[in-house]
Amino acid sequence: MNRRELLKRSAALMGAGLWGGSELISPKSREPDRAAEGQIMTVTGPVAPEDLGPILPHEHVISRFGEPPARRPDYDLSALFDTVVPILERVKALGCGAIMDCSAAYLGRDPLIMRRLAEMSGLHLVTNTGYYGAVDDRYVPDHAYDETVDQLADRWLTEWSDGVDGTGIRPGFIKTAVDGGSLSDIDRKLVRAAARTHTESGLTIAVHTSGNVTGAREQLAVLEEEGVHPSAWIWVHAQNVDAPDALADAAERGAWIEFDGIGPDTIDRHVELVQAMKQRGHLGRVLLSHDGSSFPPEGSEPRPYDLLFTTFIPALKEAGFSGAEVRTLTVDNPRRAFTVRIRN
């Protein structure tokens, strides 16, 4: 479905009194960005996917998680650069080609810092657009409740075309999050706005869903209503799902299944998760990351994001995974997942 059809439908819904939008939507007309299609959009510009090696699809290079929401995070810059640059240099030396930074707006996202970090470390970094609706919507700004779905999508599409916060630094994916159980009104709205943003931009939608199987199914239903294929959607924190068949069902439909909590104590568990997907024939839909955090707020422990290279890949090989399968998991899958492309 294109935007014009969507607008027609929204106008019809408003006319029928089914949708509480109080003003008519007048979206800017946007040309699809052909130059970005088929590329991965990093904070220093588009990069050909085949030029990237292994990609970490879910880390927090910088984060204010746990602190009050802030439009502009207040970082101690010299401490930040001193801490983070060596960490990025190290993962780059271990073979990492790019990191997707999942710190969303209002919980630590800062595109200018990310670009500086990419320049200083030589590692490709990717930032995001969208709003984070988990932890009881603590990081959802007030305007998200007042505005229509299309107005929210318009904000995120403006970040896509003009850069995050007007910096010219463009997001490489949409990051949102939902709370547990059936989708709340605001979480459903965020997912729908993400779907419409995808339809216009081709940006992949990564949704913190965790073990919420009901919420995952409802999200896929929203995507279907919006004409977005499940392959544009990532089930974030899927390692918390204790029903492997639910993950296999979503993978069967084309969704990406992200096991992103790799840590020192989870190696065996993560190998089992990947094996379960392999047995069900869905190795080609699995993403792996740490959900690490290299510059958390004071009082939070940093979480490393080098274990994939130092410990987890060797553990996979020991468990019988071939080099080609490891490449599928760490190179081909994330590359395909994050390549800008409209999927309908």
Q: Which is nearer to Zn ion, 150 or 291 (CB)?
A: 291
End-to-end CA distance of the chain: 8
- Closest residue by beta carbon to Zn ion: 291
Q: Are the C-beta atoms of 42 and 172 separated by less than 8 Å?
A: yes
Query: Is 220 one of the binding residues for Zn ion (CB under 5 A)?
Result: no
For the CB of residue 54, give the shortest distance to Zn ion in the complex, in Å: 18
In this structure, the number of other CB atoms found within 10 A of the CB of residue 35 comes to: 9
Query: Is 101 one of the binding residues for Zn ion (CB under 5 A)?
Result: no
Query: Is 226 one of the binding residues for Zn ion (CB under 5 A)?
Result: no
Residue 221 DSSP class: H
Question: Does residue 342 sit in helix, strand or coil?
Answer: coil
Site string for Zn ion, 49-88 (x = CB under 5 A): ----------------------------------------
Q: Which is nearer to Zn ion, 55 or 157 (CB)?
A: 55
**Beta-strand relationship, 40-42 and 45-47:** antiparallel
What is the arrangement of strands in the sheet containing 124-126, beginning at the earlier edge strand?
A: 55-59, 98-101, 124-126
For the CB of residue 334, give the shortest distance to Zn ion in the complex, in Å: 15
d(CA 299, CA 129): 27
Kindly state the number of chain residues that form the binding site for Zn ion, as judged by CB under 5 A: 2
Query: Is 102 one of the binding residues for Zn ion (CB under 5 A)?
Result: yes
Q: Which is nearer to Zn ion, 56 or 102 (CB)?
A: 102
Contacts of 57 by beta carbon, 8 Å cutoff, 6+ apart: 100, 206, 234, 258, 260, 287, 288, 289, 334, 337, 338
In this structure, the number of other CB atoms found within 10 A of the CB of residue 32 comes to: 12
Per DSSP, which regions of 137-289 are E strands? Answer: 173-177, 205-208, 233-236, 256-259, 286-288
Give how far Cα 104 sits from Cα of 77, 190, 226, 272, Å: 19, 13, 23, 30
- Which tokens is 161 given? 């075309």
Q: Which of residues 279-338 bind Zn ion (CB under 5 A)?
A: 291
For the CB of residue 9, give the shortest distance to Zn ion in the complex, in Å: 34
For the CB of residue 103, give the shortest distance to Zn ion in the complex, in Å: 8
Query: Is 153 one of the binding residues for Zn ion (CB under 5 A)?
Result: no
Q: Which is nearer to Zn ion, 80 or 102 (CB)?
A: 102
For the CB of residue 96, give the shortest distance to Zn ion in the complex, in Å: 17
Query: Is 159 one of the binding residues for Zn ion (CB under 5 A)?
Result: no
Q: Which is nearer to Zn ion, 226 or 291 (CB)?
A: 291
Query: Is 147 one of the binding residues for Zn ion (CB under 5 A)?
Result: no
Q: Which is nearer to Zn ion, 62 or 157 (CB)?
A: 62
Only segment of 34-42, 101-109, 112-120, 218-226 that touches Zn ion (CB under 5 A): 101-109
Only segment of 99-107, 115-123, 130-138, 269-277 that touches Zn ion (CB under 5 A): 99-107
d(CA 308, CA 88): 14
Q: Which is nearer to Zn ion, 218 or 291 (CB)?
A: 291
Query: Which residues lie near Zn ion (CB under 5 A)?
Result: 102, 291
